[in-house]
Amino acid sequence: MLRITEEQVLATLPMSAAIECVERAFRQLADGTAINHPRRRVTMPAGSVLHYMAAGTPEYFGLKAYSTNPKSGAHFTVLLYRTADGKPVAEIEANHLGQIRTGAASGVATKYLAREDSSVLAVIGSGFQAETQVAAVAAVRPIEEVRVWSRDAEKRRAFALRVAGQTGLAVRAMDSARQAVAEADVVVTATSSKDPVLEAEWVRPGTHVNAAGSNRIDRRELPWDVVYVKANLVTVDSVLQSQSESGDLMIPLEDNADLRYNAVELCDVISGRKPGRQHEREITIFKSNGLAVEDVAVAGYIAERVK
């Protein structure tokens, strides 16, 4: 069995390849050749949580397990096996694997849902996940300007300088979330916020939104009226997983008995079973919770190249 380090993951998994892997995984979900099991959690009294999720594709199957603790952060591992004979393939350090594939999922959603002429990207959040969100959106749309806002002024300025150096894009640290969102064609939320980080009136017609920051039922980044009033199309990576993890979709249903769950799976849009964007002025949303099948798909790509 291979043992693959974070450094090897970074050396072998460019964003373009991750987007291809994740898109293929969504197509396999659509045609039934891939299987995904939702995330489960073991929560301990000390505040430590074990998270685990599993999936299989025609080539590989496996699981991702990770621990989180308020003091020590998160620690990720992927175990990969060969589908044909069940033999173990690799144990992979997966902090960066998860970061890249989360960005790639937003890239796939942007490819299918954002206007083709989208050139301004707004990012709310300047943490670990936000960098690959920029890389992914820029890989599928002609982004010319990135506007970033987060609560810490120093962190957002540092993020702007770092990402500009990495991508060559014009990256501006904004003074408010509203400034960042108001003129954007694509909006990404990548925060740990418990409450919405933008307002419905800021989101102009034609915008695509990737909400990628939360996979907890008690947290949300989007206000209810963006999801249930302004949006013309809401997509998720998994309906089943979103109903147990997506506060953006489920908290409004608890607050308003007249609302009805309104999301469709992104794989159905990719496969053509469900319509995507129908008009340039439509507002579209992708609520990303993160699927194990995405991890398995990119893990297989990495293992083949390391081997």
Domain ranges of the chain: 2-98+293-306, 113-291
Residue 300, pLDDT score:
98
Write the pLDDT tens digit of every residue in 92-151: 999 999 999 999 999 999 999 999 999 999 999 999 999 999 999 999 999 999 999 999
CB distance 136 to 189 below 8 Å: no
Per-residue model confidence (pLDDT) at position 84: 98
Tell me whether the CATH fold assigned to 2-98+293-306 matches the one assigned to 113-291: no
The token pair that represents 274 in the structure block: 């469900």
Tens-digit pLDDT profile for residues 288-304: 999 999 999 999 999 99
pLDDT at 276: 96
Burial 238-272 (b: 16+ CB within 10 A, else e): beebbbebbbbbbbbbeeeeeeeeebbbbbbbbee
Residue length, the chain?
A: 307
Q: What is the CA radius of gyration of the chain?
A: 18
Q: Give the DSSP letter of residue 202.
A: G
pLDDT of residue 215: 86
What pLDDT does residue 221 have? 97
Q: Is 114 strand, coil or helix?
A: coil
Residue 284: both structure tokens together: 């579209």
Tens-level pLDDT at each residue, the chain (307 residues): 999 999 999 999 999 999 999 999 999 999 999 999 999 999 999 899 999 999 999 999 999 999 999 989 999 999 999 999 999 999 999 999 999 999 999 999 999 999 999 999 999 999 999 999 999 999 999 999 999 999 999 999 999 999 999 999 999 999 999 999 999 999 999 999 999 999 999 999 999 999 999 888 999 999 999 999 999 999 999 999 999 999 999 999 998 989 999 999 999 999 999 999 999 999 999 999 999 999 999 999 999 999 8
Question: What is the predicted pLDDT for the residue at 86?
Answer: 98
The secondary structure of residue 59, as a DSSP letter, is: S
| Side chain identity, residue 46 | A
The CA distance from 148 to 161, in Å, is 11
Superfamily name with CATH number, domain 113-291 = NAD(P)-binding Rossmann-like Domain (3.40.50.720)
pLDDT for 279 equals 96
**Which CATH number applies to 2-98+293-306: 3.40.47.10, 3.30.1780.10, 3.40.50.12160, 2.40.50.140?**
3.30.1780.10
